[in-house]
Chains A and B, each alone.
Chain A
Amino acid sequence: MTNGHPVLEAIDHTLEVKNRPPLNRASEWVSTVDHKKIGLMYIAYALVFLIIAGLQAVLMRIQLAVPNNHFVSPQVFNRLFTMHGTTMVFFVGMPILFGFGNYLVPLMIGARDMAFPRLNAFSFWISAFGGVLLYFSYLGGEGLYGAGSAPDVGWFAYAPLTAKAFSPGHSTDYWTLAILLSGIGTTGTALNIVTTTICMRCKGMKMSRLPLFVWLMLVTSGLVFVAVSPLTAAQIMLTLDRYLGAHFFDTQAGGSAVLWMHFFWIFGHPEVYILVLPAFGFVNEIIPVFSRKAIFGYPAMVAASVGIGFISLSVWAHHMFTVGLGPAGNTFFVFATMVISVPTGIKIFNWLATLWGGKIIFRVPMMFCVAFLFQFLIAGLTGIMLSAAPFNWQLSASYFVVAHFHYVLVGAILTSLFGAFYYWYPKAIGRMMSETLGRWHFWLFIIGFHLTFDFMHVPGLLGMPRRIYTYEAGRGWEWWNLIVGIGAAFQVAGILCFVWNLLRSYYHGEPAGNDPWDAWTLEWATPSPPPAYNFAVEPTVFSRRPLWDLKHPEDQDENYE
């Protein structure tokens, strides 16, 4: 199917003004409230931070590649892993996923914009400002007390290390404020996405017909309300501690360090699901299109997503088994953590069932999704291992844990994100990404990923703790760390291919047309890139796959749902 929506394309050509002065165009981006532009800005700023935080990881791997290395000092190493973790979670993961959500949710539900466009712009700029603030700490962190530059308290910033006595200077304050701002922005965007999904659906787009990506953004946004808000509250408490002399986490005055752990992980574990649910959403959209089949078990997928959302709120203390929760606490959190693998397993089976008997097309988006399936499975399995409290006591805060959660974050989330880039780039830019470069990207990255994170489990099992800046030779860790470092080099090469592909395809990519993948959701009914306000006439849908209905008038989906 090529073009052919005359009504939709009409607005495209009349509104497009070519060759405006650059300043004009820049001010248009700064002042925009268009969900697509805001979505793209989210993604662009997250990509910048992805590169920065990725380079920090590379520096750490160089430091750890050989024993007794003095490439960076211990102080710099502390700052590197703190900034790497904070940046990746708050200024890469959340903005990039909410960027995709921002861009796609209104298009997919046939809306012309978000429910609150100005709130949308506010949310973007406030979280972008948070990221700038975090990195300004390199300049401003010194402050009055003359100690520290960037934050060095670790991404979960356990008390009492964050107290004024142990973290003088302002670096920790920058960390707190950056996360506070990011939290406000994220909550605003989540509010917007929920309201948009509920109130802006086009005619016929019942909840039972929402594309699964929209469902998953809905669950993610719901999680943001109940998970990010506790972090906001905890950051307010920490700020009160540091500025007004309150004693929330001040052990000298009877305050509790464990309370901070609880508050942080009440946010911290659902956060993993906030990040991974949109990734599930990408896979839910890509696998059916490249298997040429409707998704298997739509209602089960929705139920599993909502189930994961709820269960994820009751697993946080599996990060705290070593604190000594007592038998009842341990049992509860072990059980809850293991239970969450049930809805997750349902999802994996449904993806496999969608692939089963399909005419699978191995284009780059699909390749990333298949890699996602394998890698997410392994990540889940090591997760179940770690959920057993006695096993966890042995390996808590070891490289095994680091390998496990990077398997989720890189192997599942980042991998499916790459797939999403290759899948939706043609829609957003109007040009295809290069398939050849995409394959280079895929193989280099996947090889690098497995070299790094498969082998990272081993030094963890051999007792290597996380966050050490160097280690003695002769403990059996050297070779593993070297392989891990080599894998990082492959990943960097893969990312370079990706960035080059993004830039090159912008100018030289093949024109994409409206619907290059012969897909079924509403965003592919608009021109590429979609014009302002998306749809000249609000569409009406009658099934979960409106474009299928459009292309096959004789075989309407409605008859099968």
Chain B
Amino acid sequence: MDPSFRGESNLDQIIVSRIRAAVANLANAKEQIEKEGIKGDTDDSLKRFLVGIIEKVDAQIEPIVQEIQEITRDDIKRERSDRVHRNLEGFLYDVDLIRTATLQIPIELYYFTKDALCHLRHEEIKVVFIPGASLGTTNLSDNLKNLFEFLEGIPSYIDSVFPFYWIILVPPSLIRTPLNWPLIAHEIGHILERQSWNLVSEYYGYPIVPSLAPADMKSCYAQEFQADFVALSYFGPIFARRLFAIYDTGEFAISLTHPPRRERFDAIADKLQEMGFSSEATVLKELSSREEPSLIVRSSVEHLNEILTETARMLNESSCVYSQHHVREGKAKSRLDRFTPYTDDLRILLNVAEGALKDILQSTSDPAEKRELERDFDYLLVDSIRLTYIKQISQPAFS
């Protein structure tokens, strides 16, 4: 007979049996992960991470069970049991979410991100993509540590293996629009800051729950300006164009922790100018001239210049700042014009792709045909991304 059906006097037995059942569920999840893997987890790091936690939980749960049996108060026994269950359930929920949600992410998005991280010389950064209502980043490791505050060894275990394992939440529209993938570089900018550079925190710290206090807003704004700076420096004008496009359509929710539109685009236009993209900078300045209310102004982030100067130094160290290559861009465009995959530099590919698509769409006035061309063009971009990645990781056959 299942102990859960017995009377109140068997509370300990019921609790113990239910906790053991919850741990058994984790063991099943572990088996599933080991058997099926996780899509996009090409180095099996996420698999090792989650399996490692499950094994630790299994090894450390017994003293927690014994404690519950040893205490005399039923109300605390129930409270503790409830807490243990909710945490294990929460973890199982996260594991299932990761296992299933990653199936919706094209593998090319991972290739695209790995390519960027490789150029930025931060291949050690671990990222998993999950569909979400808007673009955002969170550290899975920190989140899991919270769930295991009741099991002493697990938070320290997480810190010892993967203190940072990033979840990037991506809206379904972004997943399906490779031309918007440069927006991921903004999230990569946040990740570099948090995991490696810590330039903003030196001046403003990182508020855990940001308030409207000027000190918190300065930190938030500095992080956002810096992330734009990284994305723009790395990807060039395509980042600015796509960010501008999504801003006005309201495709993604942009929270108050971000500077207002005008300030962001002013900063982006200044940087474009500095990078030698004068005409793009002028257009952006004109387009972004609409005034918006602002909680604080850019100039009040008094250490922003130091932060961006240091960020630029970091980027220069990896020699990955985008610059205009007319010849290479011309070659890339001519390939796209002919619907032929391009496999050299993903940044050049995406910077010329918008123009190529525009030209291709002019070939017909039929809306259905236009839609089909757009879809085929997306496939062409995704194919190009995949082939570029394969070319980079494998030995060229005819070199």
Chains A and B are bound partners: no
Binding site for B on A (CB under 8 A): none
